[in-house]
Amino acid sequence: MRAVGLVTEYNPFHNGHIYHIKQARKITNADAVVAVMSGNFTQRGEPTILDKWQRTQAALQNGVDLVVELPVFMAVQPAHLFAAGALELLNDLQVADIVFGAEHPLWNFANFVEAEEHFSQREFEKFNATYATQFNRQLSNLTGHSLTDPNDILAFSYYKANLEKGYSIRLHPINRLGSQYHDQTITGTIASASAIREAVSKHEAIDRVAPEQTADLLTKLKCIPAWERLYPLLRNVLIQTPLERLQQIYQMAEGLEYRYREAAERELTFAGFIQRVKTKRYTYSRLLRVCLYTVMEITNDQVLQANAHPYLHVLGFNGQGRKYLHQIKKNVHYPLLTKISQSEHDGLINLDYRAGKLYQMFTNIEQDVKHAPVIVKK
């Protein structure tokens, strides 16, 4: 059996994802579709609108055969680390191809990777702009193109990781259909995840743009997971924790701990807090990720340790996915986990376990321990 890999968040699962799955099968003629999916927090550092088990169910009911979790220490990262983590797991899962959406699929992303080798590192030492702005300034000078759209940035990151790690995975960028990534309105049958989440917050109909099961779950959603509900925890950590310990938080660099502490002392809402800590140096995504690392008290050492011991946490599969797992299980290098025990949540998957406990504040549902994979019979 040959497998095609997808890197996903499914936040939430919608019609555009169904198109992606169908195109992946068509382009590669694969026997199985394997999705590596972020858990309960996105790359941007925000809680997902539905939990990882609900999103796994939707994926399996709409064309995916096997879903494996992208651990939080890989998922909640800037694009290059997010992409590198996803490809590392898909490579161990022995996928032959990866199909992904891009705003400009005809661009030669491999050339961009080569161009980066000629960048001046001095440009990145300036503090008057974000890293992304400085990166694009140099890329544009060398190639005439800028990576400003999220999926183009990820496409570049997939090519870079594939090259640097020496993987033999074939990469296939395809054109996104319908709405753009950040579009906030629904105009057809394919809408962005952002637009769908916005519609859910306003109690607007989403049945045109999402499968029935997903639309039903979102319609019945009593609480939309958001940082406003987590802010009291974050604020308490920032105020109560000594600065020397805050400095050990992952990505808490260049004096951010002082800005975070001051903002927490002054602001009673998360919106006010994040606005106060924003500077030209950092994107909102970077700041949101640091918020999650902080409330979970994830340190630099913990991330280094976790990255040294990757694993494959199976969230769900159908009959074809089961066959594929049986085919590869003796050849994967990383631990293959299907049900989390007490010893595992204290060790190997500790960061994901803690992320699940944090997310449990929204759902009151256990996210990891003794949770069996979702099985869809097809």
For residue 8, say whether it is annotated as part of any ligand binding site.
yes
Cβ atoms of residues 250 and 257 within 8 Å? no
188 is in an annotated binding site: no
Angle (CA) 334 358 196, round 5°: 90
The span from the CA of 284 to the CA of 347, in Å, is 31
- Does the annotation place 317 within a ligand binding site? no
16 is in an annotated binding site: yes
Q: Is 128 exposed, middle or buried (0-12, 13-18, 19+ CB in 10 A)?
A: exposed
Q: Is 109 annotated as a binding residue?
A: no
Which stretches within 202-318 are classed as H helix?
212-219, 227-240, 243-246, 256-266, 270-277, 284-295, 300-307
Is 14 assigned to a binding site? Answer: yes
Distances (CA, A) of 212 to 17, 37, 67, 180, 217: 14, 21, 20, 22, 9
Quote the DSSP letter at residue 290.
Answer: H
Is 309 part of any known ligand binding site? no
Quote the CA–CA distance of 119 and 138 in Å, as a whole number: 6
Q: Please answer whether residues 333 and 92 qualify as being in contact, where contact means their C-beta atoms are separated by less than 8 angstroms.
A: yes
151 marked as binding residue: yes
Rounded Cα–Cα distance for residues 38 and 220 (Å): 23
Cα(81)–Cα(79) distance, rounded to whole angstroms?
6
Structure-block tokens of residue 254: 């260049």
Contact 368, 345 (CB under 8 A): yes
- Assigned token pair, 269: 């809402």
3-state secondary structure at position 38: strand
Q: Is residue 19 part of an annotated ligand binding site?
A: yes
Locate 37 and state its tokens.
């999916």
Residue 252's alpha-carbon distances to 75, 96, 135, 262, in angstroms, are 18, 37, 21, 14
CA angle 290, 293, 297 (to 5 degrees): 135
10 labeled binding residue: yes
Does 20 carry a binding-site annotation? yes
The CA distance from 105 to 101, in Å, is 8
Here the tokens at position 321 are: 């996915």
The reply, when asked if residue 15 is annotated as ligand binding, is yes
Binding residue ranges for ATP: 7-20, 101, 151, 176
Q: Which residues are annotated as a binding site?
A: 7-20, 101, 151, 176
